[in-house]
Amino acid sequence: MPNISIIYFSGTGHTTKLAEAAQKGAASVAGVTTRLIVISGEDIVKGRYHNEAVFAELDSSDAIIFGSPTYMGGPAAQFKAFADATGGKWFAGAWRDKLAAGFTISQGASGDKLSTLHYLFTLAMQLGMVWIGLPELPMNDQGINRLSSYSGVMAQAGQESPDIAPNAADKRTAELLGQRVAQYAVKLKK
Amino acid sequence: MPNISIIYFSGTGHTTKLAEAAQKGAASVAGVTTRLIVISGEDIVKGRYHNEAVFAELDSSDAIIFGSPTYMGGPAAQFKAFADATGGKWFAGAWRDKLAAGFTISQGASGDKLSTLHYLFTLAMQLGMVWIGLPELPMNDQGINRLSSYSGVMAQAGQESPDIAPNAADKRTAELLGQRVAQYAVKLKK
Amino acid sequence: MPNISIIYFSGTGHTTKLAEAAQKGAASVAGVTTRLIVISGEDIVKGRYHNEAVFAELDSSDAIIFGSPTYMGGPAAQFKAFADATGGKWFAGAWRDKLAAGFTISQGASGDKLSTLHYLFTLAMQLGMVWIGLPELPMNDQGINRLSSYSGVMAQAGQESPDIAPNAADKRTAELLGQRVAQYAVKLKK
Amino acid sequence: MPNISIIYFSGTGHTTKLAEAAQKGAASVAGVTTRLIVISGEDIVKGRYHNEAVFAELDSSDAIIFGSPTYMGGPAAQFKAFADATGGKWFAGAWRDKLAAGFTISQGASGDKLSTLHYLFTLAMQLGMVWIGLPELPMNDQGINRLSSYSGVMAQAGQESPDIAPNAADKRTAELLGQRVAQYAVKLKK
């Protein structure tokens, strides 16, 4: 049974909401298991991330969805510390052929969020993964993909409580990404 | 039987060599058909590309590999004219779920070729496609992926004849990308 | 007296409005001259751009502001044809030390417009130019930089008439970019 | 008298060599002072960077050159932690109009180093800075800009000692970038 892991960093709880939505979407597909894995600052010592249990979980996943807020035009340093720790997986080709996808969030409409998604893609490519994007057109009544992003999910949140932002449309967009990744995981596992 | 199309522009014949190599790699996979489609300057009028036969071929393909030289830090204008002409496919979601991959070539070692590959990826994402990268590590005796690119194939050629450049290693790298795309096309078609 | 040129392609007239705004902003600075140069599809034959008069004007400019709509995740092919035609300037280092800046427009909020701005930057870097960005925070009452872009100006327009879109805020944002470029041109000319 | 600061992270000592070269190039320009500032892992707690003395030095600089190895397709997490800590400078516009430039190093020829340089640029743009690139053509006898990068300096080093790699050509390239930044700092300070 294919497993979909969502690994993310959240500074204020907003990214957590997107991660949960992506998991919900993945879990809606019959025949998959899902895992929600948070990157904890506690696991980062002098800028280096260490957590063998997390890597064991990811090693056994068929798909990994990466999530991070966009801070100063790129992924959060905490996410990047995790990414840097995948160097051994790169060298061993250990994650080759796993599926990958990504989501990010920041206050502004654009806010250089594409820079973060392009980074998540670049990371996945170094790891030999296959990238699943977001093929939803923004022209719809539900606000799905309202920011018009295709490489992955973009959402918005500022100082509001995570109960309010990201909004329902942004969470629904993340759900659709999770669902799409899970559907591909099922198809490729056969 | 899944079809893999390679569509490319070539200004001097070097990109053609990569395209042929990608086709050779794809054709090495049992149970696929392949097509090599060149973007002709003749089909570009006032900067706009028109060729219904080409689009009919791509519509019926399961995977499309995009190729362009890197000119001034991005894809050739001729390739971009083709890309702009896919707007209708974007709006209709007509290429959703097709596989995509890319290759590029220029004289320098880096030469901003990543900018071109990131563009090809961005285009594929707008079209709802799934991106297949190049999971080959550069540490090998055959010069495979000698420029250390993962998002797609990077190759080098300057003023030399296309008989000499790109070199055998670069062409072998393009073959491996074509093969990988074809293998995924077979897997997903089942 | 420093000269600021704005060179742009416009498919529907929306980009023209931004270009005019950038020129207005530049012209508001004492002691500069400005030129508005449109890239015409008529000058593109088989995907290649030719117009010696345009290049003579740019050769004699101290700053060049690049503008293009974002089509399918990148600059319009017509703009790219112009960019490809700068290869001789690259080789000769002819535009080294000129100032550069950029603006783009598309229907969506993000719509991969950052990909276009990153391309314009990459082009300017190949040409040895110095890049002037947009240091305006989106937190203001006038809607200045409402899409939160810093590498250059992002604006929005869909099917509306160019009389309506881009809106006043987007045009004011382009004005501020033009003004900033002109101020640097004056400073560096001394 | 304008001050040029070079702030960098180095994991193995190779980036330090580039940083020293950039400083040497800057210091070769009459009438400037230079500072070499290393990002220390000791200053990163749970992924967050804190060092008020470093920020005081940068606040009083006219130009800041950013340097980081490329790890897994982007800047090192330690550099990113520093970048994330500039959020207050972004909000206050405190670094607006300072000059910026960047350099990076990794083992491969391309190795997605452009992704790191594009990130450094994106960061600088959020901070309202002006970007100075590298206008050196690779066609020269000394190996200057041998990797053909224009957005900033790209260099190569693998497992060799920092005494050997980056090589003399890469260090000379970094020197030229430092010199160029310093020349602009002098020009703009007048």
Nearest CA to CA, how far is B97 from chain A (Å)?
A: 9
* Average pLDDT value for residue range C164-174: 98
User: Which residue is closest to A127 within chain D, CA to CA?
Assistant: D72
CA B43 to chain CA mean position, Å: 19
Q: What DSSP element (H or E) covers C99?
A: strand C99-106
* Average pLDDT value for residue range A106-111: 94
* Residue-wise DSSP of A34-61: EEEEEPPGGGEETTEE--HHHHHHHHT-
Q: Which of A47, A78, A83 sits opposite D72 (nearest CB)?
A: A83
Contact assignment for B149 to D110 by CB distance below 8 Å: yes
CA A119, A122, A125 angle in degrees (round to 5)?
150
- Per-residue pLDDT tens for C94-149? 999 999 999 999 999 999 999 999 999 999 999 999 999 999 999 899 999 999 99
User: Which residue is closest to D91 within chain C, CA to CA?
Assistant: C137
Q: Where are the domains of chain C?
A: 3-189
* Average pLDDT value for residue range A174-182: 98
Residue A45 phi, psi dihedral angles, 5° rounding: -115, 120
Q: Which of C74, C78, C83 sits opposite B72 (nearest CB)?
A: C83
User: Which residues does chain A have within 8 Å of residue C108's beta carbon, measured at their own beta carbons?
Assistant: 138, 147-148
Residue D85 near residue D134, CB atoms below 8 Å: no
CA C54 to chain CA mean position, Å: 15
- Dist CA C71 CA B79 (whole Å): 13
Contact assignment for C77 to B80 by CB distance below 8 Å: yes
> 3-class DSSP state for residue B183?
helix
User: Which residue is closest to B152 within chain D, CA to CA?
Assistant: D112
Nearest to C132 by CA among D72, D121, A137, B59: D121
Nearest CA to CA, how far is C43 from chain B (Å)?
A: 7
Residue D100 tokens, joined: 């910026």
Q: How confident is the model at residue A173 (pLDDT cuts 50, 70, 90)?
A: very high
- Dist CA D88 CA B66 (whole Å): 42
Residue D44 near residue A46, CB atoms below 8 Å: yes
* Residue-wise DSSP of C12-61: SSHHHHHHHHHHHHHHTSTT-EEEEEEPPGGGEETTEE--HHHHHHHHT-
User: Which residue is closest to D108 within chain B, CA to CA?
Assistant: B148
- Per-residue pLDDT tens for A140-171? 999 999 999 999 999 999 999 999 999 999 99
Is pLDDT above 90 for A88? yes
- Dist CA A69 CA A60 (whole Å): 25
Nearest to A15 by CA among A157, A178, A125: A157
Nearest CA to CA, how far is A126 from chain D (Å)?
A: 7
Nearest CA to CA, how far is B36 from chain D (Å)?
A: 28
User: Which residues does chain D have within 8 Å of residue B138's beta carbon, measured at their own beta carbons?
Assistant: 108-109
Residue D184 has a pLDDT of 98
Residue B139 has a pLDDT of 87
Q: Which residue type is seen at D120? A: L
Q: How many CB pairs under 8 A join A and B?
A: 64
B→C contacts (Cβ < 8 Å), by residue, are: 41-42, 44, 46-49, 71-78, 80-81, 83-84, 86-87, 90, 112, 115, 118-119, 122-123, 125-126
Is pLDDT above 90 for D187? yes
Nearest to B8 by CA among B120, B87, B114: B120
Is pLDDT above 90 for D190? no
Q: Which residue type is seen at B162? A: P
Q: How confident is the model at residue D139 (pLDDT cuts 50, 70, 90)?
A: confident
Nearest to C52 by CA among C20, C2, C79, C88: C88
Contact assignment for D41 to A44 by CB distance below 8 Å: no
User: Which residues does chain D have within 8 Å of residue C132's beta carbon, measured at their own beta carbons?
Assistant: 130
Q: Is C52 exposed, middle or buried (0-12, 13-18, 19+ CB in 10 A)?
A: exposed
For all residues of chain C together, what is the average pLDDT? 97
Residue D72 has a pLDDT of 98
- Dist CA A103 CA A113 (whole Å): 9
Q: Is B111 exposed, middle or buried (0-12, 13-18, 19+ CB in 10 A)?
A: buried
Which DSSP letter does residue B73 get? Answer: T
Is pLDDT above 80 for C190? no
CATH number assigned to the domain covering B3-189 = 3.40.50.360
User: Which residues does chain C have within 8 Å of residue A106's beta carbon, measured at their own beta carbons?
Assistant: 148
Terminal-residue alpha carbon distance, chain D: 9
User: Which residues does chain B have within 8 Å of residue C128's beta carbon, measured at their own beta carbons?
Assistant: none
Contact assignment for C114 to A109 by CB distance below 8 Å: no
Q: Point out the residues of chain B with pLDDT beneath 70.
A: none
- Per-residue pLDDT tens for A55-68? 999 999 999 999 99
Chain D interface, best mutation among B110, B122, B139, B144, by max D CB count within 10 A: B110
- Dist CA D57 CA D61 (whole Å): 6
Is pLDDT above 80 for A190? no
Q: Which residues contact C56 (CB under 8 A, 6 or more apart)?
A: none
> 3-class DSSP state for residue B59?
helix
Contact assignment for D151 to C97 by CB distance below 8 Å: no
Residue B73 tokens, joined: 């830090």
Residue D5 has a pLDDT of 98
- Dist CA A4 CA A128 (whole Å): 17
Contact assignment for C74 to B119 by CB distance below 8 Å: yes
Sign of CA pseudo-dihedral D164, D170, D176, D178? negative
User: Which residue is closest to A121 within chain D, CA to CA?
Assistant: D73
User: Which residue is closest to C152 within chain D, CA to CA?
Assistant: D125
User: Which residue is closest to D9 within chain A, CA to CA?
Assistant: A47
Contact assignment for B184 to A130 by CB distance below 8 Å: yes
Contact assignment for C137 to D91 by CB distance below 8 Å: yes
Q: How many CB pairs under 8 A join B and D?
A: 51
Contact assignment for C150 to A115 by CB distance below 8 Å: no
For all residues of chain D together, what is the average pLDDT? 97
Residue B190 has a pLDDT of 73
* Average pLDDT value for residue range A105-131: 97
How many Cβ atoms from other residues are within 10 Å of residue A163's Cβ?
Answer: 7
Q: Which residues contact D75 (CB under 8 A, 6 or more apart)?
A: A74, A80, D68, D69, D83, D104, D116, D119, D120
Q: Which residue type is seen at A67? A: G
- Dist CA D181 CA D169 (whole Å): 19
Q: Which residue type is seen at B178? A: G
Read off the pTM. Answer: 0.98
The label of the residue with tokens 């490489």 reads A151
For all residues of chain B together, what is the average pLDDT? 97
Residue A126 has a pLDDT of 98
- Dist CA D1 CA C189 (whole Å): 20
User: Which residue is closest to C86 within chain B, CA to CA?
Assistant: B72
Nearest to C115 by CA among C73, C82, C146: C73
Q: How many CB pairs under 8 A join A and C?
A: 51
- Dist CA A76 CA A111 (whole Å): 14
Nearest CA to CA, how far is C41 from chain B (Å)?
A: 4
- Per-residue pLDDT tens for D105-117? 999 999 999 999 9
Residue C139 has a pLDDT of 87
> 3-class DSSP state for residue A183?
helix
- Dist CA C189 CA C3 (whole Å): 10
Residue D47 has a pLDDT of 97
* % of chain D with per-residue pLDDT over 70: 100
Residue B178 near residue B65, CB atoms below 8 Å: yes
Q: Which residue type is seen at A175? A: E
- Dist CA A131 CA A63 (whole Å): 10
* Average pLDDT value for residue range A30-42: 98
Q: Which of C90, C128, C150 sits opposite D125 (nearest CB)?
A: C150
CA B165 to chain CA mean position, Å: 17
